[in-house]
């Protein structure tokens, strides 16, 4: 078996160098290797073989790191999942992933699948190689509401992270403060694996708190909500941020006024970039050079970006090969000449800087997390007394957007009781998916074919 280049580089780091600081624990690269090999031995004893899919439904912890490292060492395909997802949200993912094993504190979410709350340790397995280049199966919400699996390969990750290195200049002397959840591309690939590839040290925290950052930190990756919450501290104690070399914002658009306020307070111009689960990173402002507020920068080396009929389309080594297992989705996802259709609306200026001006997709981005309105609608539609329901994104000063639900009553349930039933149904969903505002309306905006026009709901039902 051939060991992927990414793993060869990861395993070549000085084993004594600290790789992860998590609370009071400090793990060196040597510790990470030992942890991965012992966990791989345990996985093999459970019958996991190279190419098998393993769901990781855990909060940020050393156990979560062990699960990832063990899968890497034994050659299993990781399926990282939001630890807050409930059974109704996980069901279609588990069906499509067909995992051999799952790590979760909620075994009822994985019927028929051997489920463990934490990985164990066994006789070390030192392969660090698989039968396939695929290392992860990441699920992304679609406009239909059913999550779609995007296989990601070591080749994708390495080519993308090498391209980012030219922009962000993360090296083995740097320290990354990582507070992003480790179930999507931003935190898992760009953050954790980007640092592991470069030999950088990660200060890992299980959530973001707008407190004084560690003095040794040089890099930070976040979402706009994080920077909004940090801004008051930046204004009164700008010296606390003097040691940073790079502050990166992604997963949603950073308002220009927030970027300008941070620049005025600290002298740091936030670096904005653009990526997706299907592509990892596509474009970025430069680490050294002109960073334009409101722009996500220029195409990464080796990546081609074009805008056709207002839609951003991309091609390059970081782009996935197609959805799994439902290949029929690929027909709409790719153009005839091989460009991936992002579904985002954008503009390219003469210098090649890309600006995202909207989303053709209906996704609602709440605090940097993608929420499918169709998924929320399906849950609310089961409530007695609901004749029709449509969801949309509503502006929020902290989270950028929250979910709003416009509900058509069938008249059989009194409005106050119906509101309570809707709230109870929404508790089947993880917190960010639950509607923050509910409006009762006479009807929903639809086109001549009866298709829901979600883009009109905010204005017609909520006056926004």
Looking up residue 210, the CATH number of its domain turns out to be 3.40.50.12780
65 inside domain: no
Residues 370, 252: one domain? Answer: no
Confidence of residue 452 (pLDDT cuts 50, 70, 90): confident
Q: pTM, whole model, 2 decimals? A: 0.87
Residues 386, 338: one domain? Answer: no
Query: Residue 108 above 60 pLDDT?
Result: yes
User: What's the rounded Cα separation, in Å, for the pair 328 and 70?
Assistant: 32
Residues 193, 317: one domain? Answer: yes
229 inside domain: yes
Residues 255, 272: one domain? Answer: yes
What average pLDDT does the chain have? 93
Residues 200, 275: one domain? Answer: yes
**b/e per residue 71-92 (b: at least 16 CB within 10 A):** bbbbbbbbbbbbbbbbebbbee
3-state helix, strand, coil in the chain (%, to 5): 30, 25, 40
Query: Residue 448 above 70 pLDDT?
Result: no
106 inside domain: no
Single residue among 359, 385, 408 that ends a domain in this structure: 359
Residues 334, 241: one domain? Answer: yes
Report the percent of the chain where pLDDT is more than 70: 96
For residues 168 and 447, the model is more confident at: 168
CATH of the domain at 435: 3.30.300.30
444 inside domain: yes
Report the percent of the chain where pLDDT is more than 90: 82
Confidence of residue 301 (pLDDT cuts 50, 70, 90): very high
96 inside domain: no
Confidence of residue 144 (pLDDT cuts 50, 70, 90): low
Sign of torsion over alpha carbons 150, 154, 159, 162: positive
pLDDT of residue 378: 87
Q: Containing domain of residue 370, as a range?
A: 364-462
Per-residue pLDDT tens over the stretch 70-83: 999 999 999 999 99
Confidence of residue 362 (pLDDT cuts 50, 70, 90): confident
Greatest C-alpha distance within the chain: 68
User: What's the rounded Cα separation, in Å, for the pair 245 and 202?
Assistant: 15
Single residue among 318, 336, 359 that ends a domain in this structure: 359
User: What's the rounded Cα separation, in Å, for the pair 137 and 352?
Assistant: 31
Distances (CA, A) of 17 to 14, 199, 209, 329: 6, 8, 27, 44
Tell me the two tokens of residue 143: 């406009």
């Amino acid at each position: 078996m051939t060991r992927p280049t990414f793993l060869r580089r990861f395993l070549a780091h000085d084993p004594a160098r600290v790789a992860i600081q998590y609370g009071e624990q400090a793990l060196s690269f040597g510790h990470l290797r030992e942890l991965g090999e012992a966990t791989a031995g345990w996985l093999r004893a459970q019958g996991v073989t190279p190419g098998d899919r393993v769901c990781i439904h855990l909060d940020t912890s050393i156990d979560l790191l062990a699960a990832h490292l063990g899968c890497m060492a034994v050659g299993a395909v990781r399926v990282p999942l939001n630890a807050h997802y409930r059974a109704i949200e996980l069901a279609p993912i588990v069906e499509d992933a067909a995992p051999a094993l799952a790590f979760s504190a909620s075994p009822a979410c994985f019927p028929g699948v051997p489920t463990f709350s934490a990985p164990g340790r066994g006789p070390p397995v030192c392969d660090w190689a698989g039968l396939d280049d695929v290392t992860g199966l990441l699920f992304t919400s679609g406009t239909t509401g059913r999550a779609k699996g995007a296989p990601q390969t070591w080749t994708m990750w390495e080519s993308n992270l090498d391209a980012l290195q030219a922009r962000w200049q993360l090296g083995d002397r740097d320290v990354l403060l990582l507070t992003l959840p480790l179930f999507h591309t931003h935190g898992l690939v760009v953050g954790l694996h980007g640092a592991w590839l470069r030999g950088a040290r990660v200060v890992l925290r299980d959530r973001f708190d707008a407190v004084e950052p560690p003095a040794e930190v040089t890099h930070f990756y976040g979402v706009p909500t994080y920077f909004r919450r940090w801004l008051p501290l930046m204004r009164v104690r700008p010296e606390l941020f003097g040691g940073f070399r790079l502050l990166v914002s992604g997963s949603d658009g950073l308002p220009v006024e927030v970027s300008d306020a941070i620049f005025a307070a600290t002298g740091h111009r936030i670096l904005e970039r653009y990526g997706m689960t299907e592509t990892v990173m596509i474009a970025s402002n430069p680490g050294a050079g002109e960073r334009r507020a409101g722009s996500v920068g220029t195409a990464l080396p080796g990546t081609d970006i074009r805008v056709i009929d207002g839609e951003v389309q991309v091609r390059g080594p970081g782009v996935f090969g197609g959805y799994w297992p439902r290949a029929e989705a690929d027909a709409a996802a790719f153009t005839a000449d091989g460009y991936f259709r992002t579904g985002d609306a954008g503009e390219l200026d003469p210098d090649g800087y890309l600006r995202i001006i909207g989303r053709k997709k209906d996704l609602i981005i709440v605090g940097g997390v993608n929420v499918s309105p169709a998924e929320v609608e399906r849950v609310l539609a089961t409530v007695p007394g609901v004749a029709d329901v449509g969801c949309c994104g509503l502006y929020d000063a902290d989270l950028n957007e929250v979910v709003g639900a416009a509900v058509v009553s069938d008249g059989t349930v009194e409005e106050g009781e119906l509101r309570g039933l809707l709230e109870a149904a929404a508790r089947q969903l993880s917190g960010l998916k639950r509607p923050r505002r509910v409006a009762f309306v006479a009807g929903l905006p639809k086109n001549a074919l009866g298709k829901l026009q979600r883009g009109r709901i905010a204005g017609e039902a909520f006056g926004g």
